[in-house]
Structure 1
């Protein structure tokens, strides 16, 4: 039964059962932005592992599948738009859940600008390199993608997720097609040695040390696999579809990354992969696509990258607005955030996301440049999401041990969450630029600001928590509430 979205007398209900499995699945898939991750994120790991990067991607996939198991297990019992904070509130403590909600808000603040800036420099850079357009046009594309995503979100979750499915399918088909072509063209150069340490030839990180270092950075390409969870209240049979979507999306895009990384290695030459981005910051678009399909390949990859950013920002918009809605519903944000428009979308959350995305993206882009602004926001996201993944793994263990002991499985609810939590510790240190491992170096300015920004934000959250705990502790306890169909 669909809950009303027109009543202004108290919390409103999101539209139950509005999204089928395909929409839920591509909510997670498009949040990972598989085309952009292949072209721009995974190459960070290539600089460490060289031609052994496919093995590093496999290790990252295993770490993320473990986390996907934990999140999927929790979402089976706790389908909520609050997702992250609801899980942690039940598994660990409502006060920790509150801080997760507060941290997620920072992710909301920087996530939109992160993607909008990416659109700006990808489009402006390509138009400048190919047709001589000015790089100064970046802000136009930044504004346009924010407005487009707002319009998709305004029309409701059904329209938004359908758009995500179409956009996600396009980028995947383009990159799979080019990868398969490159593999066939490689002929006798195809080799399974890229799945070992033979080509891990970075002189500073030879062998398995380079693979481990690369896996920390390839983990970043998987961020978003869990983002089916925030739309659980609008999903059809959420206790079944959401956990399945989280696991399937992680596994499917992991296979996608392995295929693409293998194709790039055998096409470029695994012994030369350390220099994959040395002469071109976007070799998938400017080198590999042309080698496979000529000019049409270049154009299709460019369109796939643009498509990937739009789809990613659309999925991020769905997640962030549902989380803000959930926080408004329990009065952690002003209650107006808990109001829906006639299409069932959180109206004030949509407006807030649009305003923040434009303001932060334009400020960073003009104050520094769009690439530097993108790097700063990306680093903040890592500083926020890595600790949340750790807490979600811990929450899974504690929730099933404390409240569902009859279902507790030593491997699924014990060993795997512990391994999952440990796997994201190096990723957090890398994002924060804390040289706790040999392959992590301190970050340069302004990327160095990411850690203090995240730290100051969380200190403010602790102060807010103390104030709430003294004045109205029930609002903190509400982070445990699951607005189920019943």
Structure 2
């Protein structure tokens, strides 16, 4: 694996034979934020999850769930970013879990992460194939092909971009993200300037009774699903310009942007219809609710643009998750958890090209299974796969919060109680509640407890695969990089890290330029 010293801009440098595989790039805060927010798919959430959250969750009070979700994830982010400097590799979730809870849990988390991101990618491919096929056939008068044909073409395009250098994907995602966020802000502005619907602006999400109406637990599940991907900033560590500063700043920026954007946009949608009208509209036509809102408050042209940009939002989402999955596989291969040949980087693009090819192939295999079993691309593929991903996401963050607490109790390298104890502990409580709500409502997410029980078992099995791999491959260690550098004193930018003795590690002063938030 590459360390922070390996992140020079060497995109066009040939890799000498026998040299360790590494990635490179000069991604700054903005580029990484583009990657992460694109994975969150803002327009997809506003156009798809918001109507479902209103219908199945807590009605007109649903916008508050995004604010609550952002607050819970903020406590997670405080501990997560505090630990970033002490686990300097790009494994993200599983290396953090391993550094705090040990090798077996790190291995388990690595395979749970693979399942989580593979299923959310599969979910979006299903939705994208259905949406793209509908636009081509119904709106453009093109051929009426099966949804999986369009999904396969999307997989090929994503695979091509993922094979090349990360900067190309970053530029593509940047353009698409600006377009989709911009069009939603235009709709939001139209609603605000019009003073809302006939009943004025909605206040349901500002009152305890409105927030607690209906099924707030289900509402929180849909809201948290919209944040999947914000934590992936650490996956791009090897390609960041200055990872010790860039990763924490990008994490906070991504969470803040996504949280505010979702909350305001969901509130604007509810305000456009009125509290009771929003619930009725979401139940009657969830797919077209946002498009209709855009046409009514910003004009038919904007409504048409929303429909088109929904497709680009879905594409940006799967491209971002493809890049994240590539780097998970690359990192796991580099530490022997997966075959080391999977961790090779391209000589010219310096990209994880082998991992990209594997991800493209696995996505095509899953697509073939979905097509052969005649699954509905939205009601089954999207709903079922996103249900698994939501549960895996919450469990991974919960494990990471616990790992942060344990890590800083064992390694007294950071004396700040807020960053290393109080905030992570609050995060454990909040994420524990979210995990309970997700598990107990899982049958509703995937369309029944028969399917729900199977997927719960699959989620548990993915975690157990890790220790099994550890037994079969004694050299497999997700901490191969992290454990050796977990006790590294924060260093001056551009200067070498200074190693300190292994556990127990004496407390060290935190550098004055540390990017984490202090109380």
TM-score normalized with structure 2 length? 0.84
Runs of 5+ consecutive residues of structure 1 not aligned to the other structure: 201-205
1:115 touches 1:309 (CA, 8 Å); kept in 2? yes
Residue 203 of structure 1: aligned partner: none
2:53 corresponding residue in structure 1? 45
Name the residue aligned to 2:153.
144
Say which is worse superposed, 457-466 or 37-46, in terms of deviation.
457-466
Q: How does 1:155-170 map to 2 (within 5 A)?
A: 155-170=164-179
Going from structure 1 to structure 2, the CA distance change for 1:308 and 1:432 (only over 3 Å counts) comes to: same
Q: State the shift of 1:131 in Å.
A: 5.5
Q: Provide the rounded CA distance (Å) in 1 between the counterparts of 2:441 and 2:267.
A: 31
Please state how far the C-alpha of 1:59 moved relative to its aligned partner: 0.8
* C-alpha distance 13-207 of structure 1, shift in aligned 2 (>3 A): closer
Report the alpha carbon displacement of residue 448 of structure 1 after superposing the two structures with TM. Answer: 4.6
SS of corresponding position for 1:375: helix
Shift of 1:199: 7.0
Change beyond 3 A, Cα 1:51–1:477: closer
1:209-224 aligned at under 5 Å gives the runs 210-224=215-229
Find the residue that maps to 2:299 and give its secondary structure.
helix
Correspondence for 1:344 among 350, 367, 392: 350
Cα deviation for residue 473 of structure 1 reads 4.9
1:446-474 deviations in Å (ceiling 9; x for gaps): 45532122223333333222333xxx256
Whole-angstrom CA distance in 1 between matches of 2:475 and 2:303: 56
Quickly say closer, same or farther: Cα 1:93–1:459, change in 2 above 3 A: closer
- Separation of aligned partners in 2, 1:65 and 1:118: 29
Secondary structure of residue in 1 paired with 2:186: helix
Q: Does 2:391 match 1:389?
A: no
- The verdict on how the C-alpha distance between 1:11 and 1:448 changes in structure 2, with shifts beyond 3 A counting, is same
Does the CA contact (< 8 Å) of 1:330 and 1:478 recur in 2?
yes
Give the whole-Å Cα distance in 1 for the aligned partners of 2:369 and 2:437: 26
2:262 to 249, 257, 263: 257
1:475 aligns with 2:477: yes
**CA 1:323/1:84 → structure 2, altered by over 3 Å: closer, same or farther?**
same
Distance 1:37 1:8, change over 3 A: farther
Query: What is the deviation of 1:351?
Result: 0.5
Alignment of 1:413-452 (within 5 A): 413-433=420-440, 443-452=448-457
Q: CA deviation at 1:46?
A: 1.4
Which deviates more from structure 2 when the two are superposed, residues 444-453 or residues 219-228? 444-453
Partner of 2:38: 30
Query: Whose helix fraction is larger, Structure 1's or Structure 2's?
Result: 1
Alignment-derived partner of residue 318 in structure 1 = 323
Give distance in 2, aligned partners of 1:434 and 1:73.
Answer: 32
Q: For structure 1, which segment, 235-244 or 413-422, has the greater mean C-alpha deviation from structure 2 after superposition? A: 413-422
Residue 359 (structure 1) aligns with: 365
Q: Which residue matches 2:68?
A: 59
Equivalenced residue count is 474
CA contact (8 A) 1:32 1:312 kept: yes
Cα distance in structure 2, aligned partners of 1:441 and 1:104: 19
Matched-pair contact (CA < 8 Å) for 2:195–2:201: no
CA contact (8 A) 1:433 1:443 kept: no
Higher deviation after alignment, 265-274 or 231-240: 265-274
Match of 1:193 in 2: 203
2:187 aligned to which of 155, 175, 178: 178
Tell me, yes or no, if structure 1 residue 330 matches structure 2 residue 335.
yes
CA contact (8 A) 2:202 2:275 kept: no
What TM-score do you get using the length of structure 1 for normalisation?
A: 0.89
Taking a change above 3 Å as real, the CA distance of residues 482 and 186 of structure 1, as seen in their structure-2 partners, is farther
Query: C-alpha offsets along residues 197-255 of structure 1, whole Å, 9 cap, x if unaligned?
Result: 3773xxxxx83674454223211111111111101111010110111111111111111
The farther-off stretch of 279-288 and 262-271 is 279-288
- Once the two structures are overlaid, the 10-residue window that deviates more, 206-215 or 392-401, is 206-215
Q: Is the 8 A contact 1:199 1:270 kept in 2?
A: no
Deviates more, 1:149-158 or 1:129-138: 129-138
Deviates more, 1:241-250 or 1:417-426: 417-426
Q: Does 2:403 correspond to 1:398?
A: no
Q: CA deviation at 1:172?
A: 0.5
